[in-house]
Amino acid sequence: MNVTNTTDVPERPPFLPSAARVIVSSVNSLLHFVSLLIVSPFSRSTAWAIYMHWGKMACRIFAIRVSLCDDNKGDRGPKPHLYVWLNQTSLAEILTLQVLPPLHKIANVEYAAMPLVGWACLLLQDVVIIRQWKNQAKRGIERAGARLARGETWAISIEGARSPDGQLLPYKKGPIIMALSAQATIIPMVIKGGREVMPRGEWRIRRADIEVRLLKAIPTRGLTYDDRNSVYQQLRQLAERELPHVGAPQQHAASAMNHGGSQTGESTCVQQPYGG
């Protein structure tokens, strides 16, 4: 499935159908949150299954199709794995977790404070940081990094916040240092179509497709803190190559030919229609 990430977004859908879907989605969230609240103290795997079903039902309600394209063809390198989210544009992108393996995530306090869907972070034992408080955010990432080193799978946004216009924000080095400290394999991840579904500051959700693309895994075993800048540049270049709206199209095409990655035939793509 082809999903184009551009700076243009579809027109707003009508008010009444949008409001009706939000109400139905709120009921869906309440039912799943209560189930999660009951189960999470006893079974992480069951709690994750409930969380995934929650997202799939939300996709059905809003008619969102999610697809996964894996440039690694399923072989994502030695564990532990750190999924590094290279572009963050929409709250709707959280629905794409349904196509990934069970993992923990680092969430901003603004998201964690959202009723039900944000509160689920605590039940799933995610780490919540306050990015405006640098010391607290650093300690949070260090705690997550220690758990990553023990073999847990994690996901983190390298931008640290949603882009208001779809352009890449400055990258943070915290996720890179986290991976280097844990000697984890970095799995770069780009999400296309999230902003078209739900632009920042908008509550009306549009019918659209979202594509999750997992780029070639980057092993960090044997790398040290001194390698952080080169890994930073590698991730930034990957994002600029995969997201043509942040660079000239001809440069994007040339880079894809020279470096491989997401050309036709090099990825395994699986579509999850309306959440499966």
- Give the Cα separation of 11 and 2 in Å (integer): 20
List pLDDT tens digits, range 160-204. Answer: 999 988 899 999 999 999 999 999 999 999 999 999 999 888 999
- Give the Cα separation of 13 and 133 in Å (integer): 38
- Give the Cα separation of 177 and 229 in Å (integer): 10
Amino acid at 209: D
Of the candidates 66, 8, 34, 14, the residue with the CA atom closest to the CA atom of residue 208: 66
List pLDDT tens digits, range 59-77. Answer: 999 999 999 999 999 999 9
| Locus of tokens 């955010």 | 137
Amino acid at 72: N
Of the candidates 78, 18, 41, the residue with the CA atom closest to the CA atom of residue 207: 18
Of the candidates 104, 165, 170, 102, the residue with the CA atom closest to the CA atom of residue 131: 170
Residue 144 tokens read as 């997550």
Please tell me the predicted confidence (pLDDT) of residue 200.
86
| Locus of tokens 């984890």 | 184
CA quadruple 54, 60, 65, 67: dihedral positive or negative?
positive
Average pLDDT, the chain: 88
Q: What is the mean pLDDT of each run of 10 residues along the chain (276 residues)?
A: 53 93 98 98 97 97 96 95 96 93 96 97 97 94 98 96 91 97 98 92 92 97 98 97 61 38 56 52
Q: What domains are there in the chain, each with its CATH number?
A: 15-275 (3.40.1130)
Q: Are 39 and 241 in contact (CB under 8 A)?
A: no
- Give the Cα separation of 56 and 186 in Å (integer): 26
Of the candidates 38, 84, 40, the residue with the CA atom closest to the CA atom of residue 215: 84
Please tell me the predicted confidence (pLDDT) of residue 177.
97
